[in-house]
Amino acid sequence: MSQRAKQHDESLINYYEEHLLTRADSVYRFAFALTLSLDGAWQCVQKTYRNVADGLEKLNVGPGTNAASVLVSECWRTFGAMKDQKFAAGQSAVTKALKPLAVESRAALVAVDVIGLSPVDAAKAFGWDENELRKQLAGARRSLMMSTLDV
């Protein structure tokens, strides 16, 4: 017995292709900051996009929908589900700079300073209070500024 392919509304498919897929590089950078691993980032991105595609009908897509926020939120949830997996850490200068930071601080830093989410949107994406996001972000920035690593 063959399974019937899931049918999606054409506007949702267009949204997925035009707004979500075009941000794959940003999602990869975010996932790398979480896992500090090329392999871990790759797995996290694959699972993130699979989860988003599977729940496409549930997305509340409309004007003002922040696609980057949707993806960061799903990637954060996906990472949480993968947290017990171990990945070989990279040896790059970026890895060395981010490794001392708590994963929450890395997440806040990359979501705001790399992906460009506002602190309000980043806090919502993580399910945090905005003050907590700002504390994590400030701590990460302070730590990086005080770092003696050559990046």
- Note the pLDDT tens digit of each residue in 132-151: 999 999 999 999 988 876 65
The reply to whether 60 falls in a domain is yes
DSSP three-state, residue 56: helix
- What tens digit of pLDDT does each residue of 110-126 get? 999 999 999 999 999 99
- What does pTM read for this prediction? 0.88
The reply to whether 48 falls in a domain is yes
Domain that holds residue 93: 10-146
Question: What's the token pair of residue 150?
Answer: 């050559």
CA 96 – CA 47 distance, rounded (Å): 26
Q: What CATH number does the domain containing 50 carry?
A: 1.20.140.160
Tally of domains within the chain? 1
Helix H, strand E, coil C: the string for 102-151 is CHHHHHHHHHHHHCCCCHHHHHHHHCCCHHHHHHHHHHHHHHHHHCCCCC
The reply to whether 3 falls in a domain is no
The reply to whether 151 falls in a domain is no
The reply to whether 1 falls in a domain is no
Which one has a higher pLDDT value, 54 or 108?
A: 108
Mean pLDDT of 48-54: 94
Amino acid making up residue 90? G
The reply to whether 5 falls in a domain is no
CA 36 – CA 22 distance, rounded (Å): 22
Distances (CA, A) of 74 to 44, 66, 151: 10, 13, 29
